[in-house]
Amino acid sequence: MKIAIVDYGVGNLFSIYNALHHVGGHPERISDPEELARATGVVVPGVGSFGRCMQRLAPFRRSLIEVLERGTPMLGICVGMQVLFERSEESPEEGFGWVEGRVVRLPDTLALLVPQMGWNELRIKKDAEILDGISDKDRFYFVHSYYCVPQDPSVVAATTDYGLEMTAAISRDNLSAVQFHPEKSGQKGLTILENFVRLTRC
Catalytic positions, please?
78, 181, 183
Q: What distance, in Å, lies between the first and last C-alpha atoms of the chain?
A: 11
For residues 130 and 107, give the distance between their C-alpha atoms in angstroms, rounded to a whole number.
29
DSSP 118-132: EEEEEEE-S--GGGT
Instruction: Give how far Cα 200 sits from Cα of 54, 74, 85, 96, 131, Å.
Output: 25, 9, 23, 22, 15
In this structure, the strands spanning 3-6 and 41-44 are parallel
